[in-house]
Amino acid sequence: MINLREVSETNEMISKENLDVRTITLGISLLDCIDSDLEKLKKNIYNKIFDAAKDLVATGDKISRYYGIPIVNKRISVTPISLIGGSACKTEEDFASIAVTLDEVAAKVGVNFIGGYSALVAKGMTAADELLIRSIPLALSKTERIMSSVNVGSTKTGIDMDAVRLMGDVIKKTAELTRENDSIGCTKLVVLCNAPDDNPFMAGAFHGVTEGDKVINVGVSGPGVVKTALEKVKGESFEVLCETIKTTACKVTRVGQLVAMEASKRLGVPFGIVDLSLAPTPAIGDSVADILCEMGLESAGAPGTTAALAILNDQVKKGGVMAASYVGGLSGAFIPVSEDQGMIDAATRGSLTIEKLEAMTCVCSVGLDMIAIPGDTKSTTISGMIADEMAIGMINQKTTAVRIIPVAGKKPGDHANFGGLLGHAPIMEVNQYSCDDFVNRKGRIPAPIHSFKN
């Protein structure tokens, strides 16, 4: 039988170390909503999402009460809208009007974000894909809860550089259209390589076409739990360090598995995956950077940071895999700057640069995330940063992403505030040398040699 020590350990993780289930994300296929009449399409979308998700928030809250574990976010992901709106949308405004419908139904069912205002263009863009991508600035400026993602490359297909170039413009326009709120639109827009179909985390969540009609995916989190566990093994060997992370990650993930199964049962929706994640928030004690410091670094970004993060990411996966029946999504340690107080401090004091963050993305779960850069950064420079990150993902067969915010009117030394879980961040310096002639080449980067495994 469970004993007092074990009960106390679990409850201390929850009350003092910020252990929580970060998100229950309900994936919903919209393929059966497709219609060439835009108004009918929007009605179909609204009705399908409302019917599927009307009990999501109440169910999440009830599970939270039963087990005494916070479930921070209840969210929805849908089929990429470029596929759903293709036959009905003739203009950017048409696509943006679907975003407004999604925003309305998200508010109605009470979720804070809905992901899937997306296009998958790893090898090329259809007319509908391009129209949706061009509509993103308008869509994000007219909505609150929409999350948008564009997959522009993969290990199997290479990188669509026409899409990469376009995304530089789209990010700049989104920043401009939402300039009164520190270009907040860009915090809801991510460019991906090797995007997974079952990711429960925003901004990159969408319900892939490989999925069934509906699915429950869960993301767990507990940077504070890992940090507290490491405080007890200061100065110990790498073996002890790794075992401690692995054991802790296993415990954290078991809670995610429990919540996922319960949500699946109560909602009558199949369970998909648990995302084995360490997702920070701006709250004190909920930081991945603080774990790196606990491992022995003076500040995130110091030499050794990439190695420390590699250990952390790998041990989280090893611990979590045993604890969950199905694992997927992004699974690993996230390193968003504005959402992690330790990263914010490191960037502010100058120990963490964009170049070091880029190196860290080779070994973390995703990529350059929630980084505020000067508002006057050229769109070609942003495209160059995206191309670099996509290349890392393509060659290393991992998911990578770019979510950067060229904050309109701000320069290095200034500060941007996005509010809530999106956090705040110093404006970081960007390399000023040009990549215009590289980015302006047309076409795509071929798939790497190791993609030919047939």
Partner 1 sequence: MSKTIITVVGKDTVGIIAKVCTYLADNSINIEDISQTIVQGFFNMMMVVDMEKCEKHFVDVADELEKLGNDIGVIIKCQKEEIFEKMHRF
∠ CA(107), CA(110), CA(113), 5° rounding? 70
What is the closest distance, in whole angstroms, from the C-beta atom of residue 217 to partner 1 in the complex? 18
What is the closest distance, in whole angstroms, from the C-beta atom of residue 120 to partner 1 in the complex? 36
Alpha helices in 350-378 (DSSP H): 354-360
What is the closest distance, in whole angstroms, from the C-beta atom of residue 69 to partner 1 in the complex? 6
∠ CA(197), CA(221), CA(405), 5° rounding? 65
The DSSP code for 448 is P
Q: Can you tell me the distance from the alpha carbon of 68 to that of 144, in angstroms, rounded to the nearest whole number?
A: 30
Best CA proximity match to 340, nearest among 316, 317, 370: 370
Phi-psi map region of 235: left, alpha, beta (phi>0 left; psi -120 to 50 alpha): left
- Given the complex with partner 1, which of 7 and 307 has the nearer CB atom? 7
SS3 303: coil
Distance of CA 248 to the CA centre of its chain: 23
User: Using an 8 Å Cβ cutoff, are 443 and 389 in contact?
Assistant: no
Q: Can you tell me the distance from the alpha carbon of 129 to that of 119, in angstroms, rounded to the nearest whole number?
A: 6
What is the closest distance, in whole angstroms, from the C-beta atom of residue 67 to partner 1 in the complex? 4
Q: Can you tell me the distance from the alpha carbon of 273 to that of 270, in angstroms, rounded to the nearest whole number?
A: 10
Token pair 């999350």 in the structure block, residue: 147
- Given the complex with partner 1, which of 8 and 397 has the nearer CB atom? 8
- Given the complex with partner 1, which of 6 and 51 has the nearer CB atom? 6
User: Using an 8 Å Cβ cutoff, are 330 and 365 in contact?
Assistant: yes
- Given the complex with partner 1, which of 68 and 446 has the nearer CB atom? 68
What is the closest distance, in whole angstroms, from the C-beta atom of residue 318 to partner 1 in the complex? 15
Residues of this chain that bind partner 1 (CB under 8 A): 1-4, 6-11, 62, 65-69, 251, 254-255, 257-258
- Given the complex with partner 1, which of 68 and 350 has the nearer CB atom? 68
Give the DSSP per-residue string, 35-50: -SSHHHHHHHHHHHHH
What is the closest distance, in whole angstroms, from the C-beta atom of residue 363 to partner 1 in the complex? 28
- Within 376-430, strands assigned E span 400-407, 415-417, 424-426
- Given the complex with partner 1, which of 324 and 330 has the nearer CB atom? 324
- Given the complex with partner 1, which of 68 and 412 has the nearer CB atom? 68
What is the closest distance, in whole angstroms, from the C-beta atom of residue 51 to partner 1 in the complex? 25
What is the closest distance, in whole angstroms, from the C-beta atom of residue 226 to partner 1 in the complex? 15
- Given the complex with partner 1, which of 123 and 254 has the nearer CB atom? 254
- Given the complex with partner 1, which of 20 and 339 has the nearer CB atom? 20
What is the closest distance, in whole angstroms, from the C-beta atom of residue 236 to partner 1 in the complex? 23
Positive or negative, the CA dihedral 190, 364, 217, 6 is negative
Parallel/antiparallel/unpaired status of strands 214-221 and 271-275: parallel
Token pair 């508002």 in the structure block, residue: 375
Please name every residue paired with 24 in a beta bridge, in sequence order, or none if there are none. Answer: 74, 218
